[in-house]
Amino acid sequence: MPALEINVSGECRLNRPAERACLSVRVAAESSSQDEAAQNATRAVNTLHEKFRALSPRTGDSHATSDAPITTFNIGSITTSSRIPTDINNIPTGPRQFSAFASLSAVFRDFAKLGQIASQLFMMPFVEVQSIDWRLTNATSAELNKEARSKALLNAIEKATLYSQVVARQVSVVEICDQGGTFPGSSSQPVRRYTMARAAYADSGAEALELEPQEIAVTASITAKFATTGWTRPAVITRY
């Protein structure tokens, strides 16, 4: 009986609720006075810094406490620029305008507190809530990556077993090829973006945003080759 070769794919998709949310904020102030623009931006940045720091108490080794609403935050430096407004013919239409910008972010584990803070920021002058990126912790992400790969292989084995039973042959795996997948969850790879508008919130009259964690999907895909006893790998002919 000739050797039998079975080639199958295996897939797995796992979903978990986000465990962290990264709030991204932008401070922007503009004025015909350079000092005024810088002062407005500085005050806004200092206010945000105080809010984030109060929600991120530290232990003796400078790590956030286990119950801190914010696990980590980043305060960007203030940058400035200036421009002279012009019309479509490049003719000046007013005095030089000075701008001051800064980007800030904070990673929340307490989503209720995140909703409260986001609501406050909507009403702050010179502050724009840009996005909320939902994430898994690094530990959960690593665990799900392993589970997804394992289940993708089991899915391939199940398919190959079914095919071999139908033709009454016994096969074993001879080759596994990882096809990759989506493995989000690390701090460097935001997964879901929730963009919000200040006007929409202000018109709603709500006291605080109610945020529901997004589902994070982790997927894995493989291809596998199964063969009966006596199967040999085809010779590779190299041409020069």
CB 118 within 8 A of CB 132: yes
145 phi, psi to nearest 5 deg: -60, -45
How far, in Å, CA of 128 to CA of 64, rounded? Answer: 26
The pLDDT mean for the chain works out to 87
Q: Which fold has domain 20-135?
A: Alpha-Beta Plaits (3.30.70)
pLDDT for position 106: 97
Confirm whether pTM is higher than 0.85: no
191 has a pLDDT exceeding 60: no
Angle, in degrees to the nearest 10, between helices 111-122 and 34-54: 160
CATH number of 1-19+136-190+208-231: 3.30.110.170
Under 8 Å CB-to-CB from 200, ≥6 apart: which residues?
none
37 has a pLDDT exceeding 50: yes
Cα 164 to Cα 27, 153, 174, 224: the distances in Å are: 63, 16, 14, 14
30 has a pLDDT exceeding 80: yes
Tell me the H-state helices in 30-137: 34-54, 111-122
How far, in Å, CA of 49 to CA of 6, rounded? Answer: 60
The residue ranges of every structural domain in the chain are: 1-19+136-190+208-231, 20-135
Percent of the chain exceeding pLDDT 90 equals 69
pLDDT for position 204: 52
pLDDT for position 203: 52
